[in-house]
Amino acid sequence: MTTNRANFIGGTWRAAIDGRTDPVTDPATGEAYAEVASSGAADVDDAVTAARGAFESGWGTASPATRATALMKLADAIEADTDHLVALESRNVGKPLAATPPEVEFLVDNLRFFAGAARSMSTQAPGEYLTGYTSLLRREPLGVAALIAPWNYPMMMAGWKIGPALAAGNAVVLKPSELTPLTALRIAELAADIFPAGVLNVITGDGEHCGASLVAHPGVAIVSLTGEVSTGKAIMRAAADSMKRVHLELGGKAPVVVFDDADLEAVIAGVKLFGYYNAGQDCTAATRVIAAPGIHDDLVAGLAEAAASLVVGAPADPATELGPLVSAEQRERVAGMVARASDQGASIATGGGIVAGAGFYYQPTVVAGAAQGSEIIQREVFGPVVTVQRFADEAQAIAWANGVDYGLAASVWTSDVGRALRVANAIQFGTVWVNDHGPLVSEMPHGGFKQSGVGKDMSVYAIEAYTELKHVMIKTA
């Protein structure tokens, strides 16, 4: 397990200036097993100063090939360290060990994609758009990017942020979640000999002190957060004072719209996998099934059976399909929401309780018949809980799918191609899958409509978020 518990700033490991630390807890046992630096404003200032220095002393003007080569080396180092990273992430987040290697594979693929993208950034063609002048566009890095990550995919979210930010030529300060800092620190360790000192800094600490200081720091040009909607709003407000750029990947409440002509078995398999993957702690989780009258009852029964069959257990056990939630607080939130749904008349088709014993386990749960306006339909649960509602017709299905503040991801299940496209067009979500739910690729953007955020992760569109366009206009006559 990791030995690095300090911040990685300017190429060196430094304890928090005031010496404070935060414990790291194992969600499967509830016991603390490591300590990391609990950083404050002075540590943030050190990290931003180091990043600014690295940006100005060469990284900001390094060639695309130089940036790409460094990202490729980081991808290779991460790939070679897969077993270690998987063990760290699994224990820190409570993810089943057997399901975690694909997250490293995807992170490696993301970084390789961004390495390639660094060398092929595009803009509109230069030209004489006004007689006597030649216009050309430059895509320039912003400077220091503050990257603030959540606890549900700590390693992948770190990659989704450092990849495009570094590819574009920014220097970065990455702050992982206070609950799950260990893989970000390991990535810093792997990157130490690859990037010039100060290009990639990692500091640990909470949101209130460390995160807020980063957002307020005048040396930061862009804040990129993946986190809750409420955190995104707080950051947007704080960033307004200095007009920092914000890039916000926030919560979701994905509808799974199922028509009568859908393949019932495929829907059940899809929701079993993507409704409960990572114990449902996923912004795109297939959590909100909206089913046609003819398929609704079979779906509730099938999903209840599928959910009840999930193997709940210790992350390290190869048979485990569902691990614990990340914290006692998160489990309380999930349990409270399910209890209130039941009090308000929804029925619990399976699950609905905490798992007795050590660790923060919650039963895989299916809730049927919740009202559209109820809390469990409107708010992100972020636990192993899937709701099923019965819609009357296509118009109601679309209205219910859209009838939440979020707009991150959705799926439509039908064998009618015209209806699939019609509904996909009508629903306001950043990603819409047809007859599946969950797969992502590095080349395609991932990001929210409405309160699910601002900007896109992955794809060339992510790089755009970490650059400014400059128009240079040359008088030629």
Nearer to ligand NAD, 208 or 265 (CB): 208
Pairing of strands 12-14, 7-9: antiparallel
Strand residues in 6-130 grouped as ranges (E): 7-9, 12-14, 21-26, 31-37, 127-130
Q: Does 162 bind ligand NAD (CB under 6 A)?
A: no
| Least Å from the CB of residue 287 to ligand NAD | 10
| Least Å from the CB of residue 151 to ligand NAD | 4
What region does 351 belong to: left with phi over 0, alpha with psi -120 to 50, or beta? Answer: left
Q: Does 386 bind ligand NAD (CB under 6 A)?
A: no
Candidate residues 185, 235, 290, 325; the one interacting with ligand NAD per rule CB under 6 A? 235
Q: Does 234 bind ligand NAD (CB under 6 A)?
A: yes
Q: Does 286 bind ligand NAD (CB under 6 A)?
A: no
Strand order in the sheet with 409-413: 347-350, 365-368, 385-390, 288-291, 255-258, 409-413, 431-434
* Residues, the chain: 477
Query: What are the DSSP calls for 142-195, one per residue?
Result: -SEEEEE--SSSHHHHHHHHHHHHHHTT-EEEEE--TTS-HHHHHHHHHHTTTS
| Least Å from the CB of residue 234 to ligand NAD | 4
Q: Does 152 bind ligand NAD (CB under 6 A)?
A: yes
Please answer whether residues 168 and 467 qualify as being in contact, where contact means their C-beta atoms are separated by less than 8 angstroms.
yes
| Least Å from the CB of residue 62 to ligand NAD | 28
Nearer to ligand NAD, 257 or 408 (CB): 408
Alpha carbons within 13 A on the beta-carbon side of 214: 33
Kindly indicate which of the ranges 69-77, 245-253, 294-302, 339-347 contains the residues binding ligand NAD, using the contact rule CB under 6 A: 245-253
Q: How many CB atoms lie within 10 A of CB 321?
A: 19
User: Residue 238 has which token pair?
Assistant: 């704080």
Kindly indicate which of the ranges 125-133, 206-214, 262-270, 364-372 contains the residues binding ligand NAD, using the contact rule CB under 6 A: 206-214
| Coil/strand/helix, residue 21 | strand
Q: Does 383 bind ligand NAD (CB under 6 A)?
A: no
Q: Does 222 bind ligand NAD (CB under 6 A)?
A: no
Nearer to ligand NAD, 32 or 474 (CB): 32
Candidate residues 38, 226, 365, 431; the one interacting with ligand NAD per rule CB under 6 A? 226
Q: Does 448 bind ligand NAD (CB under 6 A)?
A: yes
Nearest 5°: phi and psi at 437? -155, 115
Q: Residue 472 forms beta bridges with which residues?
A: 136
Query: What are the DSSP calls for 157-171, one per residue?
Result: HHHHHHHHHHHTT-E
Give 90-93's long-range contacts (Cβ < 8 A, gap of 24+). 90/315, 90/316, 91/1, 91/26, 91/28, 91/33, 91/315, 91/316, 92/24, 92/26, 92/154, 92/179, 92/180, 92/181, 92/182, 92/183, 93/27, 93/151, 93/152, 93/154, 93/180, 93/278, 93/323, 93/326
Candidate residues 26, 89, 178, 464; the one interacting with ligand NAD per rule CB under 6 A? 178
Q: Does 251 bind ligand NAD (CB under 6 A)?
A: yes
* Interface characters, 450-469, with ligand NAD (x: CB under 6 A): --xx---x------------
Q: Does 207 bind ligand NAD (CB under 6 A)?
A: yes
| Least Å from the CB of residue 82 to ligand NAD | 21
Q: Residue 256 forms beta bridges with which residues?
A: 289, 411
Candidate residues 5, 91, 175, 331; the one interacting with ligand NAD per rule CB under 6 A? 175
Nearer to ligand NAD, 420 or 440 (CB): 440
| Least Å from the CB of residue 226 to ligand NAD | 5
Kindly indicate which of the ranges 147-155, 265-273, 345-353, 366-374 contains the residues binding ligand NAD, using the contact rule CB under 6 A: 147-155
| Least Å from the CB of residue 425 to ligand NAD | 22
Nearer to ligand NAD, 14 or 379 (CB): 379
Residues labelled catalytic? 249, 283
Nearer to ligand NAD, 247 or 296 (CB): 247
Kindly indicate which of the ranges 44-52, 106-114, 162-170, 173-181 contains the residues binding ligand NAD, using the contact rule CB under 6 A: 173-181
Size of the site for ligand NAD (CB under 6 A): 35
Kindly indicate which of the ranges 166-174, 190-198, 246-254, 267-275 contains the residues binding ligand NAD, using the contact rule CB under 6 A: 246-254
Pairing of strands 171-175, 144-148: parallel
Nearer to ligand NAD, 60 or 227 (CB): 227
| Least Å from the CB of residue 235 to ligand NAD | 5
Give 30-34's long-range contacts (Cβ < 8 A, gap of 24+). 30/328, 30/358, 30/359, 30/360, 33/1, 33/91, 34/1, 34/2, 34/5, 34/182
**H helix or E strand, kind and range, residue 220:** none
Q: Does 228 bind ligand NAD (CB under 6 A)?
A: yes
Please answer whether residues 357 and 374 qualify as being in contact, where contact means their C-beta atoms are separated by less than 8 angstroms.
no
Nearer to ligand NAD, 153 or 362 (CB): 153
Residues that bind ligand NAD (CB under 6 A): 148-153, 157, 175, 177-178, 206-207, 211-212, 215, 225-228, 231, 234-235, 249-252, 283, 380, 382, 408, 446, 448, 452-453, 457
